[in-house]
Amino acid sequence: MSTTKTSTMSMPQAAANPEVGSGTSTGTSPAGSGPGTATNAKPSDQRLFSLKKWNIVAMWSWDVECDTCAICRVQVMDACLRCQTENKQEECVVVWGDCNHSFHNCCMSLWVKQNNRCPLCQQEWMVQRIGK
């Protein structure tokens, strides 16, 4: 599964050069796992292999959206763009809403001052927990 995930993220990053995405995942596929077995039937045929993956991409984009702070577009497990710039990496924590969407607490506290809704699902923003 991790191989599919890599290709998913590569796609928007390397939109101008789709070869990069399929190349990366093909390279990591030997270590890869169960559910993709069917597509591994002909590992030599790379064209067929990457074509199959386009289906899977849609399933995984949702998951990636949760891992990346939709406000500053940095991974929630890393410090937000603001804290990286100000060298406050240690203080940067993650906030989860009742809707289960997560953001950097720094990013979200700026946004709720303007609109107390989750920018992803538009539900009223209620903090579920704050932490790392």
The answer to whether residues 36 and 29 touch, using CB atoms and an 8 Å cutoff, is yes
Binds another protein by CB under 8 A, chosen from 11, 71, 92, 94: 71
Q: First-to-last CA distance in the chain? A: 25
The smaller minimum CB distance to another protein, of residues 34 and 44, is found at: 34
| 122 lies in the site for another protein, by CB under 8 A | yes
Question: Which stretch in 3-11, 39-47, 50-58, 91-99 sits in contact with another protein by CB under 8 A?
Answer: 3-11
Please tell me whether residue 74 binds another protein under the rule CB under 8 A: yes
Measured over the CA atoms of residue 100, residue 67, residue 85 and residue 93, the dihedral's sign is positive
- Calpha distance 83→66 (Å, rounded): 20
The answer to whether residue 101 forms part of the interface with Zn ion (CB under 5 A) is: yes
Alpha helices in the chain (DSSP H): 2-13, 18-28, 46-67, 81-85, 105-114
110 touches another protein by CB under 8 A: yes
Query: Footprint of Zn ion on this chain (CB under 5 A)?
Result: 69, 71-72, 80, 83, 92, 99, 101, 104, 106-107, 118, 120-121
